[in-house]
Amino acid sequence: MEYEHKPVLLAEALHYLRIRSGSTVVDCTLGGAGHAEAILDLLGSDGVLVGIDKDDAALKAARARLAGFSQQIKFMKGGFEKLDRLLPKAGVLEVDAFLFDLGVSSYQFDRPERGFSYRFEAPLDMRMDLSQKLTAADVVNGYSEKELAGVIRRYGEERWASKIAGLIVRTRQKRPIKTTFDLVAVVKDAVPAPARRRGGHPAKRTFQAIRIEVNGELEAVEAGLSRSINWLKPGGRVVVISYHSLEDRIVKRTFADLARGCLCPPELPVCICGKRPMVKILTKKAVRPTDEELRANPRASSARLRAAEKVGD
């Protein structure tokens, strides 16, 4: 299968990234390189794009797609939460713009053997980085009932989390839960019939939760976003596209924290905390895809974009 991923909110991302010729831009989630290709077109021959991804398959596909830009691009394998390690390795001193297009790519979802999808039978894997040890099978077969219920409730916002965790534990006492369809069957049995018929596939929220846990996705967003600000030049921008409310809440809160100035109690006559706003928020409300984009790419339906600009010293 081709590595296909239609870049989501592309025009809106380019607008907020404000790419100028000769800039240094970091795409923290290179994926199929749809956004990266459009950014490179705007960067010109003296600009630099650092493309980061945890997934070797994404990096391989991106290298092929971006072969014509080999002078301007540096590929880095790793988690964007480790920006402080990756950017010095790439020889970067300061950054004009960061893009985070979070989560899993369509390619990762659509490759049955990666185990991300409840639609295909495959081993329970769900790792973005195949050199990582922890797999979905480890979570499902190794976590305690309480831990599983917590993960499914927190990251899947699943109201039947306790029932699902309970049945996972009872099932695995008889035999390990090895495949995606084994897990789908357990979830279907745990969720009461009327609830099963509402709100999409019954295993959707459990799969999302386990994937987030396996890849440490939410911790990575918080760490990567906060670190990115320290690398931005004054006037530099960060753009984040998220796909579910848990991610979007973290983005919104992190930007709000960074945009806040003095934290002293109002009764103090002068500021003693010295905290200054680090960013100005550019998107009061999250930007959503247009109807036209949704018709062309239904997978964009949950996308929300937020952007911020680093304020001068």
Ligand X SMILES: C[S@@+](CC[C@H](N)C(=O)[O-])C[C@H]1O[C@@H](n2cnc3c(N)ncnc32)[C@H](O)[C@@H]1O
Residues near ligand X, by CB under 6 A = 5, 7, 29, 31-35, 52-55, 58, 79-81, 101, 103, 105, 128, 220
Q: Are 128 and 108 in contact (CB under 8 A)?
A: yes
128 vs 278, beta carbon nearer ligand X: 128
Tokens linked to 33: 């390189």
9 vs 177, beta carbon nearer ligand X: 9
183 vs 305, beta carbon nearer ligand X: 305
CB of 9 to ligand X, least distance (A): 10
CB-based closest residue to ligand X:
31
CB of 239 to ligand X, least distance (A): 11
CB of 301 to ligand X, least distance (A): 14
Give the start-end residues of each E strand in 151-247. 232-242
CB of 225 to ligand X, least distance (A): 11
163 vs 306, beta carbon nearer ligand X: 306
CA–CA distance, 196 with 227 (Å, rounded to integer): 41
- Crossing angle for the helix pair 217-231 and 245-259, to the nearest 10 degrees: 30
CB of 299 to ligand X, least distance (A): 9
64 CB-near residues (< 8 Å, 6+ apart) = none
Q: Are 23 and 96 in contact (CB under 8 A)?
A: yes
Q: How far is CA 18 from CA 26, 214, 290, in A?
A: 13, 34, 20
165 vs 300, beta carbon nearer ligand X: 300
